[in-house]
Structure 1
Amino acid sequence: MAEDDDGAPMRWDSEARRGAGGWVPVSGGSARAGSTANGGGPAPPGARGSTASRRFVLLAAVGAVTSAVVVLVVVKVFVSGSPAGQEPSPGGPSASSAAHSATRSAAQPEDPQASSLSAEPPVTGRAQAAALDALLTKSAADREKVTDAVNAVESCASGAAVAAAGADLDAAAVRRDGLVGDLSRIAVDGIEGGRAAAQELRTAWRRSAEADRAFARWARDAAGCSSGSVPHGSAYDRGVASSGLATQAKQEFLRRWAPIAGRYGLPVRDHTRI
């Protein structure tokens, strides 16, 4: 049973519209009879066509929505799968490789050769010890000049010789100060016992510089001397005292230095050569 726009009941009349059939208004009783007669039977041709059209439209709409969803999924997969947009997962190949490498390193047996190499003194300590030994070689030449200058004043061969000896002693004191400065710029933290040894050597060179300056004053005091009559005043006494303290510090340094020199294959020295 159908209704028109005003809600009035309508029935299908196959004879209406000159035999073409159509919907016509009915009265209350006829409407109910028509409804009963046509409700359980086949739908009129127009009704079947209308239902098929609505079904086709609905299927077309569903197909369009489904196509749109598929397109969006494909686009998302393409974008996320591109190399520029891909992000490594927390458990990706890099993490797995790192874990695999760590496992292999832990499981790999220790190399005997590597163990023997690790037992050797570190390269840093060797280089530091060699740098300090080079200063010892440099100081040995200074000590020879100081010894020659003191002997020249003591012998008083001539006034010129005594004056030259005094100048040599002043220059030796300056060089000793330079050795102390060079020593302070050498790192010894990589040498076992290096700090204590370096401290004793620093003290020895400072005492030697004090002795050089005292003997230089003694040479000036001895100006005009004659052979065998060189005065030995307070300057000479200070020089002797400072030289004795320098010798003690040198001996203590060499006591600490000997095992270091042996460890790194460096020459062993005595206090007369530094």
Structure 2
Amino acid sequence: MTDGPLPDATTVMPPVTPGAMPPGAHGGEQMPSPRRARRARQTAAQQRQQPVPPAPTAAPYGIRPGAPGDRPAGDFDNLFREEAAPVPAPAPVPEASAEGGRGRGGRGAGSGRGGARRRHSDGKGARMPLPVIAAVVVGCAVVGLGAGALMFDSGSSGDGKGSEPVAAASSRPPAAPSPAPSSEASAESDPAKRQAQALDRLLEQSNERRGDVVGSVSDIKSCDNLDRSARKLRAAADDRRDLVDRLEKLSVRELPRDDDLTEALTDAWRYSAIADDHYAAWAKQVKSDKYCVDGKAKATKRAGRAERASERASKAKREAARLWNPIASRYGLPTRTSDRL
């Protein structure tokens, strides 16, 4: 029976350890004998039951033999770090049978020194020195503290409301829409409304003396309070003339039929002033017993002139009210009757 491989000889091959191959095995690949196969299976079974032995003295291919700290430090290593960082030990390689590839390990030991030096030197160049790392960490901490202090100062300055969290400020409900423009703002954009408002204030002042005029005329007819009635009537006449002067300086060009409205108001106040003057003169006449009989004042020419002027003033007031009320309704202003002008 010839020496040939058993069916399970190649299923579990033990790892090859340095120095395991016999001399002369480099020349060609030979088939293992049954004895060698049984020995390899026994060795593999023992290795599965025992812990991994320490690393062999001869390093595998690509790793420099010896401990990592055996290499003397370079001339420039101490310039950047206080002590050389230890190079991690290579992973342990399981032992192989005595007949394993000794020559293969020999070749790896010779060629592994250069690769180990290259990897060790590359690792050393990529590692950042400890002082540099410490300086970077300290610099980042200083910058972070400075930025935080600036943000705190800017947030706490002012009226004290800046210290509220950003999340709280962003979660606030949206601001309410701005209110509708007031009548003053709309009047600025509409010159006609602005002129109507100015004229309305003038009309309001024209009615202030109405009570004094009516009361004074009633006293004159009954011969009472004649001097006081005359003073009130003359003061009312002066006010009517002042209204006419102020109306002439007031611009109402943007109002409908501004010329007719201005003419009606001018006639109303001018004739009212004329009537007040005649009533005041009539009061002076009634002080005489000749014009006051049995507590009643006699009608005189002054009284007649006052009545006619008052009628013309009332007619002009009715026309002015007719022209004014549509304007007042359009711009939300109070309407007026003739007796309020």
TM-score under structure 1 length normalisation = 0.53
Separation of aligned partners in 1, 2:189 and 2:327? 13
Structure 1: runs of 5 or more not aligned: 1-119
Residue aligning to 1:249: 316
Kindly indicate whether residue 327 of structure 2 is the aligned counterpart of residue 263 of structure 1: no
Identity %: 35
In the TM superposition, residue 271 of structure 1 has moved relative to its aligned partner by: 1.0
Structure with higher RCO (Cα < 8 A, 6+ apart): 1
For the pair shown, the structure with the greater C-alpha radius of gyration is: 2
Residue aligning to 1:171: 235
Contact 1:155/1:227 (8 A) holds in 2: no
Quote the RMSD (CA, aligned, Å).
Answer: 1.7
Alpha-carbon displacement from aligned partner over 1:209-232 (angstroms, at most 9, x marks no partner): 110001111011111436632111
Residue aligning to 1:228: 295
SS at match of 2:296: coil
Contact 2:240/2:273 (8 A) holds in 1: yes
TM-score under structure 2 length normalisation = 0.43
Contact 1:156/1:227 (8 A) holds in 2: no
The AA in structure 2 aligned to 1:268 is T
Alpha-carbon displacement from aligned partner over 1:77-121 (angstroms, at most 9, x marks no partner): xxxxxxxxxxxxxxxxxxxxxxxxxxxxxxxxxxxxxxxxxxx99
The AA in structure 2 aligned to 1:162 is L
Residue aligning to 1:146: 213
**Structure with the larger helix share:** 1
The AA in structure 2 aligned to 1:207 is Y
Moved more, 182-191 or 193-202: 193-202
SS at match of 1:259: helix
The AA in structure 2 aligned to 1:267 is P
Residue aligning to 2:340: 273
Separation of aligned partners in 2, 1:248 and 1:254? 10
Kindly indicate whether residue 229 of structure 2 is the aligned counterpart of residue 162 of structure 1: no
Residue aligning to 2:116: none
Contact 1:172/1:212 (8 A) holds in 2: yes
Matches within 5 A, 1:43-122: none
1:129 paired residue among 196, 211, 214: 196
In the TM superposition, residue 126 of structure 1 has moved relative to its aligned partner by: 0.8
Kindly indicate whether residue 257 of structure 2 is the aligned counterpart of residue 193 of structure 1: yes
Equivalences, count: 152
Contact 2:188/2:194 (8 A) holds in 1: no
Moved more, 194-203 or 178-187: 194-203
Separation of aligned partners in 1, 2:273 and 2:316? 13
SS at match of 1:190: coil
